[in-house]
């Protein structure tokens, strides 16, 4: 059982920490400023690119992490759009955890290796725990609450940096335990061509980042003549990528898996919360130097996931995908840390008591929305209920500033419902689909889309 006497440490995902360079913010989207933040970063991308061979070390380039992102953040070509961590922190505070005492958010430089950030994590967590124990909480231990890549960092710290001795629980939200095919495509193909001249800068930054390589799939994901191959199998060559960085990233997963397998208690102390039902790239085909993403997994067909992390990679290799230890939430990767059902799960794990939810079995939705469109293009939204329904659904489009831009009532049919949204100005928008009222049976799904315009356009 976990108690409020324990120390809760919150780790965000990749892109989820602000960055400063020589004391000035270079990555810090705030409400309504995603495009401006990307543009600001664009002036610093060349200097943010890491030196060749940085490995697990600190580059001494003047960049330091600031704080956890409170708002929507996205950098096209590097992972996916993610909403902020304000709701997660608010829920933890409501449970009695106090900032600076037993609630420690840990931002980090998301460009750098997970091994480096795990080492730095220990330098933050261990003194904080010692102070908390000194304040009268002698039996306190650490509970990690991690989103996405934050879970990889915490796992490395626990298993490879001595953190197991002080850790009570590891709670992960959407952590790519075995990587994600999407990261492979982003590295090989480069940033979206629709980004224009900014594309090359982002591509070079991405390919310099050990962290993004460590998000590549460890599982067999590449279609080959005799089945599926791993990225490090004989005969597999990934164009544009440094073979040493790829091999090192796969060693990260191998070493971590072996360490966890050698400590059986690690499985009992791990609580994965993962997104399901959403269309998710799971395997890949290499054709003419480019990666084509595929939503199916061999003969198993479409297993789905959270639109970023496929279900086959959302838990450890020694956990079956149908295990009752996995907590499943039908939402997307970038919203899991804010999803009410997911936060209920976190609360239940922390308090060791069941949280009563109104709907015993909500109707799950799959919502397909493009991540990026050019200004002037329509956004196509496709909604597929998991079972036949008669109740209407509500779709809303909200600007970064929280302004409701559009609302529609969707009438169910025999199959998916498809709608087209036109006329959105450049910026970032949230697309939410759920019930029309509190009594509706639908589990809401939240997506984000970036409407991009080259500087001077729109």
Residue 31 has pLDDT above 70, yes or no: no
131 within 8 A of 171, measured Cβ to Cβ:
no
- For the domain 7-351, what is the CATH code? 3.40.50.1820
Q: Give percent above pLDDT 70 in the chain.
A: 96
- What whole-number distance in Å separates Cα of residue 365 and Cα of residue 434? 8
- What whole-number distance in Å separates Cα of residue 69 and Cα of residue 89? 11
- How high is the pLDDT of residue 444? 95
Question: Euclidean distance between the first and final Cα of the chain, in Å?
Answer: 54
391 vs 335, which has greater pLDDT?
Answer: 335
Render pLDDT for 397-452 as a digit per residue (tens, 0 to 9): 999 989 999 999 998 877 899 999 999 999 999 999 999 988 888 999 999 999 99
Render pLDDT for 230-272 as a digit per residue (tens, 0 to 9): 999 988 999 999 999 999 999 999 999 999 999 999 999 999 9
User: In sequence order, what DSSP letters do the residues of 249-293 get, joined into one string?
Assistant: HHHHHHHHHHHHHT-THHHHTEEEEEE-SB----EEEEETTEEEE
- How high is the pLDDT of residue 243? 95
Render pLDDT for 171-184 as a digit per residue (tens, 0 to 9): 999 999 999 999 99
**Token reading at 32:** 């309504």
315 within 8 A of 326, measured Cβ to Cβ:
yes
- How high is the pLDDT of residue 234? 84
Mean pLDDT taken over the chain: 92
- How high is the pLDDT of residue 287? 93
Give the lowest-confidence range in 164-178, 300-314, 316-330, 342-356: 342-356
- How high is the pLDDT of residue 458? 52
What pLDDT band is residue 301 in, cutting at 50, 70 and 90?
confident
Residue 360 has pLDDT above 80, yes or no: no
**Token reading at 344:** 């209920």
The predicted model gives 335-361 an average pLDDT of: 82
Q: Which of 195-209, 279-293, 353-367 has the highest mean pLDDT?
A: 279-293
- How high is the pLDDT of residue 1? 46
How many CA atoms does the CB half-sphere of 24 hold within 13 Å?
7
Name which of 128, 17, 100 is nearest 64 in CA terms: 17
Q: Give percent above pLDDT 90 in the chain.
A: 78
Predicted TM-score (pTM) of the model is 0.94
- What whole-number distance in Å separates Cα of residue 92 and Cα of residue 10? 10
Residue 300 has pLDDT above 90, yes or no: no
Give the lowest-confidence range in 28-42, 89-103, 156-170, 200-214: 28-42
176 within 8 A of 148, measured Cβ to Cβ:
yes
- How high is the pLDDT of residue 359? 46
What pLDDT band is residue 358 in, cutting at 50, 70 and 90?
very low
Q: Where in the chain is the domain with CATH 3.40.50.1820?
A: 7-351
The predicted model gives 373-396 an average pLDDT of: 93
Render pLDDT for 110-132 as a digit per residue (tens, 0 to 9): 999 999 999 999 999 999 999 99
Residue 198 has pLDDT above 90, yes or no: no
Residues, the chain, total? 458
Residue 2 has pLDDT above 70, yes or no: no
243 vs 47, which has greater pLDDT?
Answer: 243
What class does CATH assign to 365-452? mainly beta
- What whole-number distance in Å separates Cα of residue 175 and Cα of residue 388? 31
Q: Where in the chain is the domain with CATH 2.60.40.1930?
A: 365-452
Name which of 150, 171, 167, 148 is nearest 158 in CA terms: 167
- Taking CA atoms, 455 is separated from 40, 42, 78, in Å, by 12, 11, 20
Give the orientation angle of helix 149-160 with respect to helix 114-134, to 10 degrees. 70
403 within 8 A of 414, measured Cβ to Cβ:
no
Phi, psi of 207 (to 5 degrees): -75, -10
Give the orientation angle of helix 198-208 with respect to helix 34-42, to 10 degrees. 80
């Amino acid at each position: 059982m976990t108690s409020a006497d324990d120390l809760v440490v919150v780790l965000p995902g990749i892109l989820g920490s602000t960055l400063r360079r020589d004391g000035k913010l270079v990555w810090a989207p705030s409400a309504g400023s995603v495009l401006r933040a990307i543009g600001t970063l664009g002036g610093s991308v060349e200097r943010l690119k890491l030196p060749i061979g940085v490995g697990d070390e600190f580059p001494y380039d003047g960049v330091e992490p600031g704080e956890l992102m409170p708002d929507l953040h996205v950098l096209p070509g590097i992972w996916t759009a993610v909403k902020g961590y304000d709701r997660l922190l608010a829920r933890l505070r409501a449970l009695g955890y106090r900032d600076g005492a037993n609630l420690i958010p840990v931002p980090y430089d998301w460009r750098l290796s997970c091994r480096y950030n795990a080492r730095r994590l220990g330098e933050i967590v261990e003194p904080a725990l010692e102070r908390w124990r000194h304040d009268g909480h002698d039996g306190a231990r650490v509970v990690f609450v991690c989103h996405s890549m934050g879970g990889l960092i915490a796992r490395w710290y626990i298993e490879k940096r001595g953190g197991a001795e002080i850790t009570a629980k590891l709670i992960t939200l959407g952590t790519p335990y075995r990587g994600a095919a999407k990261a492979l495509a982003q590295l090989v193909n480069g940033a979206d061509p629709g980004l224009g001249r900014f594309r090359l800068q982002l591509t070079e930054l991405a390919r310099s980042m050990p962290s993004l390589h460590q998000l590549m799939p460890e599982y067999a994901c590449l279609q080959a003549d005799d089945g599926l191959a791993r990225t490090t199998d004989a005969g597999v060559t990934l164009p544009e990528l440094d073979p040493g960085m790829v091999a090192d990233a796969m060693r990260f997963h191998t070493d971590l898996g072996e360490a966890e397998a050698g400590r059986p208690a690690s499985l009992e102390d791990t609580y994965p919360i993962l997104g399901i039902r959403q269309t998710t790239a799971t395997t890949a085909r290499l054709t003419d130097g480019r990666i084509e993403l595929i939503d199916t997994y061999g003969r198993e067909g479409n297993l789905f996931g959270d639109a970023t992390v496929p279900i086959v990679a959302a838990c450890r290799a020694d956990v079956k995908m149908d295990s009752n230890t996995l907590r499943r939430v039908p939402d997307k990767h970038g919203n899991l840390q804010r999803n009410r059902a997911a936060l209920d799960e976190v609360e239940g794990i922390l308090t060791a008591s069941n949280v009563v939810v109104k709907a015993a079995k909500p109707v799950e939705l799959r919502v397909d929305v493009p991540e990026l469109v050019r200004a002037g293009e329509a956004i196509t939204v496709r909604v597929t209920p998991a079972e036949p329904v008669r109740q209407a659904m509500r779709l809303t489009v909200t600007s970064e500033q929280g302004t409701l831009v559009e609302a529609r009532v969707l009438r169910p049919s025999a199959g998916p419902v498809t709608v087209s949204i036109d006329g959105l100005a450049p910026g970032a928008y949230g697309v939410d689909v759920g019930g029309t009222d509190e009594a509706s049976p639908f589990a809401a799904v939240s997506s984000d889309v970036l409407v991009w315009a080259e500087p001077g356009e729109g």
